[in-house]
Structure 1
Amino acid sequence: MGRQHQQPHILMLPFPLLGHIKPMLNIAQLLSNAGLQVTFLNTEHNHHRLTQLQEFSTHFPTLHFESISNGLPKDHPRTFDLTKDMVISFKSVTKPLFRKMLAEYSRNSDLGPVTCVIVDGIMYSFANDVAEELGIRPPLQIALKEDLDQEIKTVPGMEFLLRRQDRSTITSGIILNTFDDLEGPILCHIAPLFPNVYTIGPLNALVKTKIGDDIISQCLSSSNSKPLRSVVYVSFGSIARVTRSQLLEFWYGLVNSGASFLWVIRRDMIEGVKKDDMIPMELEEATKERRFVVDWAPQEDVLAHSAVVLESNDAGVPMICWPLFGDHQLNSRWVSEGWKIGLDMKDTCDRSTIEIIIKTLMKHRREEIIKSMDRFSKLAHDSISPGGSSYNNLKKLIEDLKQYMIKKVHQQIICSFPYKEQ
């Protein structure tokens, strides 16, 4: 109990899906690189997945990792359609364990008591309950509900949140994986509601600027001989599942478009079909010279390759979006109609639509979309460069976290709202 800890101890808690864990890990890397003590708390299932990665130990040498049970059996599929199970289990099993862990750190941890908790925004209710039990102010959450075909002029719920903030006393702020020039109008609505809004995105690019990243994958070698902007990169993320019929529609659409493609097909991605039975032999033969299919790919490195066409803002690569669930529909709408950096397939999945939309992106509207994409890519890179908004906001975040130790303010909660699920 007599130990003196000179640095704040930050506990980070992401929602247990890889699309949420990755940006939170980015934040953890940035804070740890600045000399802060960071404990990254994952569910036991995801902690095991992370530690199996070859680059795990070399990529996060100064982070402290802990795991916690989410109460689900080991054979639970943990797919998006079953996230309700995760939420229920978090409330019944994980919440009391989380509270106990915070108390244990206050008494016994070599890292010292937890100074603040950075929690994924989607974990709002979970963090709110724990915060109230500990006698600290609950975090806030923001909801956007608008007709996607209408221009957003107001943000419903802001008045409620403003009244709630008047009754609250301790929420420190929110971290947003975005940058000022991308979403300025919305950020103007959010800023008055919180003491601090830290826009520090794109996080993956900021990590490379501040720390560096030299991961290289052999799957990129298949793109090295391809012409500039000629390869379509296809990925459905870490949990989405499709039927064999949908897979074939995409495959035929890609074949008929004439494009070369790099496709990430997870072993568990196709419902009820073994990998060897997914694609007819004649279709595989027809694309042998212009396809490369892998179980996993380092997405950031792939997107930075000059031959790849689809995804993403930071890399300056236009997108074709096929929204399935969660925030996909909203994200897709912004990509297509708001920022005009790609095209939205909406809920269609047929080979002719896929063929047409790929040709449209790569030929007919190529210059228009590339021009817009290049503009936002430059703004993104400016934001993470020395003197840029995200660069400076990260510096402010680190300084504020250090001040918590000086002021002896303990167990603050900052809500993080990871931007754009990949």
Structure 2
Amino acid sequence: MSDPEAKCAARLMEDKKQPPHVVIFPLPLQGHVNSMLQLAELLALSGLKVTFLNSPHNHNHLPQFADVPARFTKFPGFEFRTVPDGLADDHPRTGRFLLEMLDGMIVKTKPSLRDLLVDINPSVDCIIGDGILGYLLDIGEELEIPVIQFRTISACCLWVYYRIPDLIGAGEIPVGGNEDMDRLIKMVEGMENFLRGRDLPSFCRAKNLEVEGTRVQTFAQETRRSATAHALILNTFEDLEGPILSHIRTKFPKIYTIGPLHAHLRTKLSEKNLVSSDSLNGIREVDRSCISWLDQQAMHSVVYVSFGSIAGLTREQLLEVWYGLVKSKVRFLWVVRPDSVLGHWGDEDVPVELMEGTEERGYLVDWAPQEEVLDHWAVGGFLTHSGWNSTLESVVAGVPMICWPQFADQHVNSRYVSEVWKIGLDMKDFCDRHVVEKLVNDLMEEKREEFVGSARTMAKLAKESVSFGGSSYCNLDSLIEDIKLMSLKKS
């Protein structure tokens, strides 16, 4: 927005005497909710009225563990509302239930959301919706409300999703079976020299697209529909994904890169002399005893291990990772969610040598304050599932990674960590105790210097992007002005 336009908008807003009303609606999964709560707080800090929609299941957990609703009371007019997530109340919401949720949301969530938007007061000026929920575009068109889509994945993965129909047409997917998984994929511009079959999103491994292609088509269709939204928000920054963003902008003309959101939020809170809040990760109870344990460890001596809020491990996978950690002789802090092990699991299933090795050099918790852990001086590496929020948090902290992706976008992210950004190692498809042991030692000792320099450089660029005058800082200002103009045009 030009200076004259901004001044005109400011005068009109003064006449209107009411801030624009933005409704934010994430997919009801923890990673999506967390990043969109960060966006909600950034917009509220800028004086916008925000209504945050969540599922009853998630909303009931927010005050239980982090009292998230209470931290928004400083914003006049900020409101939490709920709409159903399409699942039964007693659904465990663990494992890979995403497709079941998406189907249920079409039936249950869509009509409830439409009714809420019709009845809500004041009227809505803009919807910021999760980019995987294409039906928000239908509702916005019907009710004449502009829709900005937020994709919580990386730009590099978004571009792969967008190119899926072309990959199908060229016969490059599905991948799997007895074929060479290391063959290069040629139909994704900008990635021709390093993207392999095994680096494609997990749903591209369908054996038969006619039978199993629902997931593939869903992600491709929703991504291409995003191009029809008023604009697209990405939780990334130009210095991290600039080359791929240049390709994306040929299909999505208006993009706001405003990440890393958690670091951006710290900047804005600091500018207003507000205490930087704890992570918005409020759906699980945090065990802060791990911070006391880290305080007792040597500088950069600990590898932090967490596979996110959804991924489930078999008993065999858990044991292989555990043996690898113990055999590495490196100190480790490991998040093992109670619901992360598939099937029966108890203390009686843990071999004695693992218990003894953990007592000597390890520490296990159900859930950790991840941002704080990664920022701790004792942490020197991160064994991660390569979810985008975790990847960005590690980038900002300057902590090198070992990537063990599980599903969806994580395979693409892990390839970028190892081959493009050079800030870690990729362990996909090869999880056994010997591999874990070797890569932990490589990251923490043998090859540490190879990654530390790149990680620190990227951390510096990330922080600059959200500082005054940085690319993400300026893009957020432009987004806010764009939303104000929507409100003025509507009035």
Q: TM-score, normalised by structure 1?
A: 0.86
1:214 Cα offset (Å): 4.7
Map of 1:64 onto structure 2: 79
CA distance in 1: counterparts of 2:479 and 2:406, whole angstroms:
34
From 96, 103, 123, give the equivalent of 2:118.
103
CA distance in 1: counterparts of 2:88 and 2:226, whole angstroms:
38
Map of 2:389 onto structure 1: none
CA distance in 2: counterparts of 1:186 and 1:41, whole angstroms:
31
Give the % identical residues.
47
Map of 1:418 onto structure 2: none
CA distance in 2: counterparts of 1:59 and 1:377, whole angstroms:
28
Query: Does residue 116 of structure 2 align to residue 116 of structure 1?
Result: no
Runs of 5+ unmatched residues, structure 2: 1-15, 152-157, 173-181, 193-220, 270-274, 280-287, 383-393
Map of 1:417 onto structure 2: none
1:71 Cα offset (Å): 3.1
Deviations 1:317-345 (A, max 9, x none): 01111111111111111111111111110
Instruction: Map residues 261-340 of structure 1 onto 2, 5 A cutoff.
Output: 261-311=332-382, 312-340=394-422
Map of 2:282 onto structure 1: none
- Residues 278 and 297 (structure 1), Cα distance of their counterparts in 2 relative to 1, 3 Å cut: farther
- Residues 164 and 332 (structure 1), Cα distance of their counterparts in 2 relative to 1, 3 Å cut: closer
1:57 Cα offset (Å): 3.8
1:379 Cα offset (Å): 0.6
- Residues 321 and 129 (structure 1), Cα distance of their counterparts in 2 relative to 1, 3 Å cut: same
CA distance in 1: counterparts of 2:319 and 2:35, whole angstroms:
32
What letter is aligned with 1:280?
P
| Secondary structure in structure 2 of the residue aligned to 1:292 | strand
CA distance in 1: counterparts of 2:449 and 2:429, whole angstroms:
26
Map of 2:312 onto structure 1: 241
What letter is aligned with 1:153?
E
Instruction: Map residues 333-352 of structure 1 onto 2, 5 A cutoff.
Output: 333-352=415-434
Map of 1:131 onto structure 2: 140
| Secondary structure in structure 1 of the residue aligned to 2:238 | coil
CA distance in 2: counterparts of 1:292 and 1:164, whole angstroms:
45
From 320, 330, 348, give the equivalent of 1:259.
330
1:79 Cα offset (Å): 2.8
Deviations 1:128-168 (A, max 9, x none): 33234335677788524477845753599xxx99x9899x6
Q: TM-score, normalised by structure 2?
A: 0.75
- State whether residues 314 and 380 of structure 1, in contact with CA within 8 Å, keep that contact through their aligned partners in structure 2: yes
CA distance in 1: counterparts of 2:251 and 2:147, whole angstroms:
14
From 87, 90, 100, give the equivalent of 1:75.
90
- State whether residues 90 and 126 of structure 1, in contact with CA within 8 Å, keep that contact through their aligned partners in structure 2: no
1:195 Cα offset (Å): 4.8
Query: Does residue 286 of structure 2 align to residue 215 of structure 1?
Result: no
| Secondary structure in structure 1 of the residue aligned to 2:98 | helix
CA distance in 1: counterparts of 2:484 and 2:191, whole angstroms:
33
- Structure 1 segments, 4+ long, off by >6 Å, are 136-141, 163-166
- State whether residues 267 and 275 of structure 1, in contact with CA within 8 Å, keep that contact through their aligned partners in structure 2: no
Query: Does residue 264 of structure 2 align to residue 232 of structure 1?
Result: no
- State whether residues 131 and 226 of structure 2, in contact with CA within 8 Å, keep that contact through their aligned partners in structure 1: no
Deviations 1:173-230 (A, max 9, x none): 1111000111111111223444531111110111111114253944211111222211
Query: Does residue 38 of structure 2 align to residue 26 of structure 1?
Result: yes
What letter is aligned with 2:438?
I
Map of 2:102 onto structure 1: 87
Deviations 1:236-258 (A, max 9, x none): 11111111111111111001101
Range with bigger deviation, 279-288 or 67-76: 279-288
What letter is aligned with 1:23?
S
CA distance in 1: counterparts of 2:346 and 2:38, whole angstroms:
32
Range with bigger deviation, 61-70 or 8-17: 61-70
What letter is aligned with 1:238?
S
| Secondary structure in structure 2 of the residue aligned to 1:25 | helix
- State whether residues 10 and 118 of structure 1, in contact with CA within 8 Å, keep that contact through their aligned partners in structure 2: yes
Map of 1:412 onto structure 2: none
CA distance in 1: counterparts of 2:337 and 2:64, whole angstroms:
16
Range with bigger deviation, 136-145 or 190-199: 136-145
Map of 1:353 onto structure 2: 435
| Secondary structure in structure 2 of the residue aligned to 1:249 | helix
Higher relative contact order (CA 8 A, sep 6+): 1
| Secondary structure in structure 1 of the residue aligned to 2:82 | strand
| Secondary structure in structure 1 of the residue aligned to 2:128 | strand
Runs of 5+ unmatched residues, structure 1: 410-422
Map of 2:321 onto structure 1: 250
From 235, 239, 246, give the equivalent of 1:177.
235
What letter is aligned with 1:272?
G
Aligned length: 394
| Secondary structure in structure 2 of the residue aligned to 1:378 | helix
Map of 1:392 onto structure 2: 474
Query: Does residue 258 of structure 2 align to residue 200 of structure 1?
Result: yes
| Secondary structure in structure 1 of the residue aligned to 2:367 | coil
Query: Does residue 248 of structure 2 align to residue 190 of structure 1?
Result: yes
From 168, 189, 198, give the equivalent of 1:153.
189
Map of 2:48 onto structure 1: 36
- State whether residues 374 and 397 of structure 2, in contact with CA within 8 Å, keep that contact through their aligned partners in structure 1: yes
